[in-house]
Amino acid sequence: MPLPRLGLIPAGGLDLAEVLAFKNSEAISVHLVFPVGSPREANNLRGLLAILRPLQGSLVDRVWIAFGGQRLGGLSKLAREYPGLTIFTARDHLPPDQEDIPLGKGAAMRALLYHLVVHEGLSHPRAVVEFLDADIRPPYFSTRWIVDPVGALLRFHRLEAVKVVYHRPRGGRLSTMLRPLLALCPHPGVQSLQRLIYLLSGEMAGTLRFWTSLPFKSGYGVEILTLLSFALDHLGLHPGSPDLDHLVQVHVGQMDHHHAPLTSTAKRRGLDQMAGHVFHTLMEVLLRERILFWGDSLGESPTLNIPLPVTPERGNPDWLEVPIGDQSLPPLKSLLEVQQRLTPKKSVQSFSA
């Protein structure tokens, strides 16, 4: 019996030995990727990697840090401490169409996927890549975050992506704000996204077929664009079948992470900027699909004005002005060098067929 669209799999529902048997029978490789923008995540990552160690070399073939920052700092030690971990410095290995694109979270993810296909030879359409946020607090993390989503992809061949979901003991502020906006959208696919227990989780496992079919945003808009791509059938994963039929969720219980400040400062990005990127992407896609109508264009990069707190050095309020329009990037399978590596050697069929 096939899983329903956005169906829920409880953590612990799949046996590791069975998952390994599925993996070995098809010779499918599994890659875990932590997108990281700052070396301040090094200590937290150390705890997560220790928990993952039992899976390395069995279920997990490679673990990657997709680093989008400039200086590795304490991250450089991790590769020496954890065999099987590779630090991928995105700015040194950009796809040709990303050379002038800001290197945010989505851009680093896409650069790593490009590297896997073009330089590491990953080509099996059911090869699995799972992205995990690096700021998950280790007490909430376990190997089930990998065993169950990866296992679901290996067990159910019609699945192309599995979203890890959870409940937040201190709430998910941005996901909470996003849910009523989706409820107001007059489109059944977009409204159905409300069935996801947690909307903007950064943890998702997917097949190579899925990841190379996905359009990207350069920054924090990547998660909402992923959901909208499913809801609006922009992926074309299986002709004649809605994309949402190939996405389910795995519930891992509770989760908490290191919270961003609510309001940005000149030195640190806050939730307000992240929300700006998410809402801009949402409105941009809905306008383009003519689901939402607006008097004027959003513009390429709207400016968010944030009042800065008054300090003893600055008696009068000041303003932080930041652009919130992420850059759009096409699916990787649109690039010729990716197409050449994904096309089966003994067939003229295209990868997306």
pLDDT tens string 200-221 = 999 999 999 999 999 999 999 9
Q: What pLDDT score does 115 carry? A: 98
Asked if residue 299 belongs to a domain, the reply is no
Asked if residue 347 belongs to a domain, the reply is no
Q: What pLDDT score does 349 carry? A: 38
Asked if residue 65 belongs to a domain, the reply is yes
Query: For residues 216 and 328, what is the distance between their CA atoms, to the nearest angstrom?
Result: 6
What residue numbers bound the domain in which 97 lies? 8-260+330-342
CA of 96: how far to CAs of 42, 111, 114, 303, 338, in Å? Answer: 29, 10, 10, 28, 12
Asked if residue 309 belongs to a domain, the reply is no
State pLDDT tens for residues 250-284.
999 999 987 778 888 878 888 899 999 999 999 99
Asked if residue 307 belongs to a domain, the reply is no
Count of structural domains, the chain: 1
Asked if residue 101 belongs to a domain, the reply is yes
For residues 280 and 326, the answer to whether their CB atoms sit within 8 Å is: yes
Query: Domain of 146: which CATH number?
Result: 3.90.550.10
> Among 142, 134, 94, 135, which residue's Cα sits nearest to residue 114?
94
Residue 66 bridge partners (DSSP): 35, 88
Asked if residue 149 belongs to a domain, the reply is yes
> Among 251, 300, 275, which residue's Cα sits nearest to residue 144?
251
Query: For residues 80 and 76, what is the distance between their CA atoms, to the nearest angstrom?
Result: 8
pLDDT in tens, the chain (353 residues): 568 889 999 989 999 999 999 999 999 999 999 999 999 999 999 999 999 999 999 999 999 999 999 899 989 999 889 988 999 999 999 999 999 999 999 999 999 999 999 999 999 999 999 999 999 999 999 999 999 999 999 999 999 999 999 999 877 889 999 999 999 999 999 999 999 999 999 999 999 999 999 999 999 999 999 999 999 999 999 999 999 999 999 999 999 987 778 888 878 888 899 999 999 999 999 999 999 988 766 666 789 998 887 777 766 778 999 988 899 999 999 999 999 999 775 533 333 33
Asked if residue 280 belongs to a domain, the reply is no
